[in-house]
Chain A
C-alpha cells in the first residue's frame, strides 16, 4: 500500500473538505446580503422553472432565495448548541475524570446521568412552548440535551488515557494533576471529541429541524434549511430541488466539517506511532491472511 506517500492525497482531502465547507459557509455568511438581489417574485407553489433557477417551494417562494437566507440559523443554532454542550459537558467530564476523589466524581456525574434518559422530545416541547420561535432558546435546549452525553464521553475517554503508563509516569515524576489533565488527557480526548463533534452537529441540525417540524421551533415559514427540507418533503418527487438543495447544503456542511476535523487532528494522532503502527499492521494482516 502507499504508506510512504500519504502527503498528497491528504492535502487533496483537505482541499476537498474545504471546498465542501465553503459553499454552505459562504451561503450562510453572504447569502442574506445577496438574497434580495437575486430573488424573483413569488410564483406558483412547487413550480419548476419560470424564472426560478431552483423552482419554488410550497408557498411559491423562490428556492434559491430561501437557500441564501436559510444558512445562518441552520448552521448557527446547531453549531452553537454543540459548542455550548462541549463547553459545559466537556469541562464537567474532564473535571470528573481528573478528580482525585471518587466522591467528587460521583457528585459531578450523578446528576448528569440522571438526566441522560430524559426524552429530548419532551424537553423540547416544554421549551418550545414557553419560548416559541426563538432560535436562542432552541440552541440552549439542544445544548442542554447534549451536555450529559458529552460529559460521559469525555470522562470515559479521559479515564482511558489517564490509565495509560505515560500518565502514570507523568504522575510519578510529580507533574501537577492539571498538567497531566490538560497536557495528556486533553490530547487523548481530542480525537474522540473531534469524531463526536462532527456527528453531533449533524444530529443537532436535525434535532432542531425536528423541533421545527413539530411546530415547536422556528416558524414553519422560516427559510432555515432544516425547516425547508422538512416543509417540502412531500414534494420530493414533484419539485425535488425544494428538498434536495437545502439538504445538500446540510450534507456538504457536515461531511466537510468532519473531514476537515479528521485532517486537522490527524497529525496529532498519526505523527506518533499510532498511524504507522496501524498501517503496518494493516499491511501485514493483508499480506498474511492466515
Chain B
C-alpha cells in the first residue's frame, strides 16, 4: 500500500516548491536560490500567540504556535502531505486486514533525545495517554476513540498491532491529526518534553517563546539550523518584526500585509494554495432550508468571485460547495457553480422566500466572517432576499452557531476529506453546522470505512460530497491561500497548508 517514501517525498518536494515559486513569484525578489543548504544559525520565527493557553503538552495542543513547537520536538507515526494524504513518519509502513479492523504499523529506527530507542511500547503508551479518560483536553481523543487499546499490542519491539472497535480505513490519517505526537514511555511532565523530533527542547515561556537546539541523531537526518526560537507575537508585531529582520519567519499573514511587502526585497511571501474552506452554513433541519431548493437558491445567488476578491483579498480559489479542493478524494469533473441570479429568483419565488427576511448569525471569531456576511447580504438583496446580519460573542461562537441562526459563518482548516465528513456532516458530528442529519448518509460513510481499496473508497466519498453539494446546506465560496512571510535569509521553506507535514517544518530550512 505504501510506496517508497523517499521517492514520493522527492516528487512531492519538487511539485510543492514548484507551486510555491509560481504563487509567490510576484513577491519573491531573489527567488528560492540561496545556493546549497548551509549548516548553522539561529532561526527566529513568530506565530500568533495565545497567552496562558499555550502548552508544551503535545496531546493538549490546540493552537498553531503549539503545533509548530511540538513539531520541532516530537514526531508523529504518520503525517499528511500537501494533498492531505498520509505519509510515513515514525511508522515506516502499515497494513490493514481485509476489513480495515486490524492494522500493523512497522516502526523505523529512531532515538529519543535522552538516548532511549523508539519501541512499540512507546507508541502504545502515547495512545493510552491521548485516550486517557481523565484528560478531556486531549484533542485527538474522540477521533482515536475507535482504537481498542486493550486488544492492541506490541509485536516485538518494532511492530504495533492496533485493533479497532469498528472498521476504520482512515486510521492512518486519524493518526496524523492534531494532538497525536509520539512521546517517550513514562512521559508525564509537559515541562520536560522528550521526543524523537529534529530539535531538542531547551526552554519554554508560556505565551512568549520557545527554544530548541539541533538533535544530531534525528532519524531523518540532523537539521541544518543550530537552534530555533519560536515566539508568540500579535499581527502588527509579526509584520514589523519580519520586515525589520528581527524574525525570519512570520506565520499567518494577511493579504493586505502581502501587498505591503510586495516589492520589498527583504521579505518574501510563501503562499500555500487550498488551505481549507470559507463558507456559509445553512441550517437544513428547519425551514426554509429543509427544502433543498431554498438552499440551492442561495448557492446560486452568491457572487463567489467578489467574495474571494474582497474577503480573501484575491488570494484564494473559488469554492464549488464541496470541501477539500486540491486534496485527495476531491471529486473531479464537477462543473464550477456559477452565479445565476434569475434562477435563484425563480427558486426563491417557488419556495416562498422572495422578499422574505432571513437571519445571518455571525461573529468576529475569525477574520473575514463579518465582512463575508455583509457582502453576502448585499448579494442576496440583489436577488430579492433580505438577509439580516447579527453578531454574536466571538469566544463561544462556534458552539452557539450550532443552534442559532438560519445562516451562519463557516470555515475549516486543512484536513482530509473523510475527516471533514465525519466531523461536520454525520448525525453525531461535534461540529455539524448545517444540521445535516441523514441516516442513509451516515450508513454510506460507515460502509466506506470498511473499504480498503483507496479508489473505491474515494468514489464513495465523492458521491457523498455531491449529495451535499446538491441538497445540503454548505455554501463554500472560497478556498483561501495560506500566507507566511519569510526573510531573504531563510531558504527551503515549502508552501504547505497547516496540519500537513511540511508546514512549520524547520529541520529542512537553512539560513544564509
**Which A residues are within 8 Å of any B CB, using their own CB?**
44-46, 58-60, 129, 132-133, 215, 219-221, 234-235, 237-238
Contact = CB atoms under 8 A, between A and B. Distances in A.
B371 to A, nearest CB: 6
Interface string B140-178: 000000000000000000000000000000000000000
A234 B254 contact: yes
10 contacts: A45-B309, A46-B259, A60-B310, A132-B391, A219-B374, A219-B391, A220-B364, A220-B370, A235-B259, A235-B260
Given A58-B371, A132-B391, A221-B374, A238 B256 contact: yes
B260 A238 contact: yes
A60 B306 CA distance: 10
Interface in B429-473: none
Contact of A59 (B259, B363, B374, B389): B374
B371 A220 contact: yes
A47 to B, nearest CB: 11
A215 B363 CA distance: 8
B402 to A, nearest CB: 19
A215 B394 contact: yes
Given A220-B371, A221-B371, A234 B256 contact: yes
Interface string B237-254: 001000000000000001
Contacts of A59: 310, 371, 374-375
A234 B364 CA distance: 17
Contacts of B235: 234
A132 B393 contact: yes
Contacts of B256: 46, 58, 234-235, 238
A242 to B, nearest CB: 10
Given A44-B309, A132-B393, A215-B364, A234 B371 contact: no
Interface of B: 235-236, 239, 254, 256-257, 259-260, 309-310, 313-314, 363-364, 370-371, 374-375, 389, 391-394
Nearest to A220: B370
A133 B375 contact: no
B391 A133 contact: yes
B393 A129 contact: yes
Nearest to A237: B260
A219 B375 CA distance: 13
A221 B369 CA distance: 11
B310 A45 contact: yes
A178 B392 CA distance: 49
B236 to A, nearest CB: 8
B128 to A, nearest CB: 40
Nearest to B255: A45
B309 A221 contact: no
B310 A221 contact: no
Contacts of B393: 129, 132
B349 to A, nearest CB: 27
B285 to A, nearest CB: 26
Contacts of B309: 44-45, 60
The 8 nearest A-B residue pairs measured at CB:
A215-B364, A234-B256, A221-B374, A220-B370, A238-B259, A129-B393, A235-B256, A45-B310
Contacts of B313: 45
Contacts of A133: 391
B390 to A, nearest CB: 8
A215 B391 contact: yes
B397 to A, nearest CB: 10
Contacts of A221: 370-371, 374
A237 B259 CA distance: 9
A133 B392 CA distance: 10
Contacts of B391: 132-133, 215, 219
Contacts of B389: 219
Nearest to A45: B310
Contacts of B260: 234-235, 237-238
Contacts of B239: 234
Nearest to A56: B310
A197 to B, nearest CB: 31
A110 B259 CA distance: 53
Contact of B392 (A58, A132, A238): A132
A121 to B, nearest CB: 14
Contacts of B364: 215, 220
Contacts of A129: 393
A228 to B, nearest CB: 13
Given A58-B256, A215-B391, 12 more contacts: A45-B310, A59-B310, A219-B391, A220-B370, A220-B371, A221-B370, A234-B254, A234-B257, A234-B260, A235-B259, A235-B260, A237-B260
A146 B256 CA distance: 36
Contacts of B392: 132
Contacts of B370: 219-221
Contacts of A46: 256, 259
A133 B362 CA distance: 13
B382 to A, nearest CB: 12
Contacts of A238: 256, 259-260
B266 to A, nearest CB: 15
Nearest to A234: B256
A237 B371 CA distance: 21
Nearest to B392: A132
Nearest to A215: B364
A44 B370 CA distance: 18
A45 B310 CA distance: 6
A143 to B, nearest CB: 23
A238 B254 CA distance: 13
Nearest to A238: B259
A132 B361 CA distance: 13
Nearest to A60: B310
A152 to B, nearest CB: 33
Nearest to B313: A45
